[in-house]
Structure 1
Amino acid sequence: MKDIKLSTEVALDAPDWRINHHTKILTIGSCFAEVLGSQLDDYKFHVLNNPVGTVFNPLTICKILDSAVEEKRPNPALFLQNPDHIWLHHDFHSSQWAMGQASLDAQLSDKLDEMREFLAEADLLVITLGTAYAYRHRKTNLIVGNCHKLPGDRFVKELLHFDQITIAFEQLIQKLIPYNRKMRIMLTVSPVRHTRDTLPLNQVSKSTLRLVCHRLSEKYKHVGYFPSYEIMIDELRDYRFYKEDMIHPSSLAEQYIFNAFTQTYVEPDALKFMNEWASLRDSLAHRPLHGFTQGHLKMLKSLWSKLNALSRNVDVSAEMEEVERRIGEFPGM
């Protein structure tokens, strides 16, 4: 009987490199960068995950990475105070805030310093591009990362040109090469649809980003592309794989894409660890139905021993402390 396929599969080329739990990974970009970074962190990979919050447009991503490498400080002309007297910065997500401009400047500078130090030793930089649309701040005539809900007449919405994005990335890559010659760069286009741009213009935006990724991965041997967008729209071409907003991938879709990533880019021994860790996490999440039984105490002691064995290779100190706390709750312990 002929096999029946119910979806078109995205072919993933096997790379000449793979990651393990000694690989240092920095993620930056759209909310999908944060999803991927969180998934890797959950499996104990060494990740600095989207350290300055979500960044949607590619020019701001390049600006932030360039500021980190070149030890530049946040542009003082782009600080603002909102109606609630909270200080924000137009190049950074609203998760980066403070009660005073000086405090926010120091906080953002510390984040950039952290990124610079991590980039110097990173093995992999994952950049997720969200949209080719960006906003130009009228007062400074600069492309910014976040409007922070200020009146629309203070900004001009622009569709960034392919050459504009490509030049910015090439300038960044030329700085990153001497800064850290071992670091690889993985580009991906976010599977999250920006429906506010309308679906036709969202496709124009995604197509622009995809072409940029293609050209950069062709030109630089240490730059690759992971097709998260293609997996979403081809393999998962059904609204059951979206959240209720019909924009963001569901948790099932996120897990499916993550599985495709790990099967392609994670070393076999690290994959084996991930399976073991998933089982241990299930045990950690277990809550006894019948209180302080000897069977549950035995399970906790066995879990502690397994965590202790893993502690030689990964940091599981928080989990071990939690198990010790639960054991200590038993009468007579």
Structure 2
Amino acid sequence: MKSPYHVLPVYTRWNRVVAGVAIEAMDPVVHFPWQVTPEQKVATAGSCFAQHIARHLRKAGFNYYVVEDGHPIGTPEEKADFNYGTFSGRYGNLYTTRQLVQLFQRAFGLFTPQEGPWETKEGRIVDPFRPNIQPHGFFSAKEMEADREQHLSAVKTMFETLDVFVFTLGLTEAWRSRTDGAVFPICPGVAGGTFDPDKYEFVNFSVMDAINDLKTFFAMLRDISPEAKIILTVSPVPLMATARDEHVLVSTTYSKSALRAAVGEVVDEYDHVAYFPSFEIITGSYTRGRYFAEDLRSVTEEGVEHVMGLFLKHVANVSPEASGKVAVKPAQPDNFLSAMQNIVQTTCDEELIEASLKS
């Protein structure tokens, strides 16, 4: 043997499996440790990109588990406007691992944040932990609190009864309460409330923070759902804005690198936790930027279909067509799929930052 490299599989060689490979033929998934079956209840949460995973699971006829699906007389479009079915629960985007941990703790009565309702400049009420789930906000704090109570009850049920949980890690940057450490999906004052530096602080979570959060969540979920499996992905979507005094490209690189490193550290320790390389498929240099829209941030539908074609192939044993698109007959009404189709329709709290700067 000349060296260990001479006996390694072909997929370890850049010039054999990356350079010169057609974009649509790229498949960086070597092996996935277990399979998801159509009857298993698959729940999703995470950043904006996770919404695409939910849409394609539903489209492919898998048991996409939704515990908050809206009033039965509501149209698919109306439900989408109110963020029913966007994720398995109506919790909006969970950008950070700390949000995930605190959502679980809140659902099981282990943590009750002291933060009160936020009021918008129009006088409506928003939930600080779900600021973008109710168009134009709630009419009153009482209405918001009632909605939150049933929401957390549904989330509790979701964690107790799901079979597979897919979580997409999005950001390391966040704003939190100085009082009790409660983490928000958006900076106070952007989507409601008033920013007060004595009440709120910026935090940029480290690799170790993310590792500890993930391990905490794994332990809590295993206690109440011992057979559940977890799939982790990292969002390829860059930061809309950074709160650090540095270029947003530099902050984006840190955030994604820290999250990818954290996932890499924890996956090898747990048999029931696996990683799927959405981030690598979208951002890999082999695409030459083809999977990003003109804003260099939004992921095109072509890119999403490449990711989900491979996801269904390796995770769910669904054979994709030669083009990489999902070769499964849609199991949901066409009007729902149309409402969720375009990249601009993903609900993203970060977009509120840019909007607030223009107002």
TM-score (norm 2): 0.70
**Hey, what does 1:288 align to over in structure 2?**
none
- How far the C-alpha of 1:171 sits from its partner, in A, is 1.8
5+ residue gaps, structure 1? 286-333
Q: Which structure's residues are more often helix, by fraction?
A: 1
- How far the C-alpha of 1:233 sits from its partner, in A, is 1.2
Larger Rg: 1
The answer as to whether partners of 1:125 and 1:183 remain within 8 angstroms in 2 is yes
Partner amino acid, structure 1, of 2:63: H
- How far the C-alpha of 1:199 sits from its partner, in A, is 0.8
**Hey, what does 1:191 align to over in structure 2?**
236
**Hey, what does 1:322 align to over in structure 2?**
none
**Hey, what does 2:222 align to over in structure 1?**
177
Match of 2:106 among 35, 50, 67: 67
Q: Which structure's relative contact order is higher, taking Cα pairs within 8 Å and 6+ residues apart?
A: 2
Q: Deviations over 1:203-261 (max 9, x none)?
A: 11111111111111122111111111111111663333212321011011111111111
Shift of the 81–139 alpha-carbon distance from structure 1 to 2, 3 Å rule, reads: farther
Q: Deviations over 1:244-303 (max 9, x none)?
A: 3210110111111111111111134999xx735149988x99xxxxxxxxxxxxxxxxxx
Q: Deviations over 1:177-213 (max 9, x none)?
A: 1211110011111011115231111111111111111
Match of 2:40 among 5, 20, 23: 23
**Hey, what does 1:114 align to over in structure 2?**
154
5+ residue gaps, structure 2? 1-15, 67-86, 243-247, 338-359
Shift of the 53–141 alpha-carbon distance from structure 1 to 2, 3 Å rule, reads: closer
| RMSD between aligned residues | 3.0
Q: Distance in 2 between matches of 1:110 and 1:125?
A: 21
- How far the C-alpha of 1:137 sits from its partner, in A, is 3.3
Partner amino acid, structure 2, of 1:95: I
Partner amino acid, structure 1, of 2:263: C
**Hey, what does 2:255 align to over in structure 1?**
205
Shift of the 111–235 alpha-carbon distance from structure 1 to 2, 3 Å rule, reads: farther
- How far the C-alpha of 1:50 sits from its partner, in A, is 4.5
1:107-186 paired onto structure 2 within 5 Å? 107-138=147-178, 142-147=182-187, 149=190, 154=197, 155-186=200-231
Size of the aligned set, in residue pairs, is 280
Matched, 1:32 2:70: no
**Hey, what does 1:249 align to over in structure 2?**
299
The answer as to whether partners of 2:61 and 2:328 remain within 8 angstroms in 1 is no
The answer as to whether partners of 1:135 and 1:145 remain within 8 angstroms in 2 is yes
- Range that drifts further, 100-109 or 76-85: 76-85
Shift of the 236–74 alpha-carbon distance from structure 1 to 2, 3 Å rule, reads: farther
TM-score (norm 1): 0.75
Q: Distance in 1 between matches of 2:149 and 2:271?
A: 32
The answer as to whether partners of 1:55 and 1:93 remain within 8 angstroms in 2 is no
- How far the C-alpha of 1:117 sits from its partner, in A, is 1.2
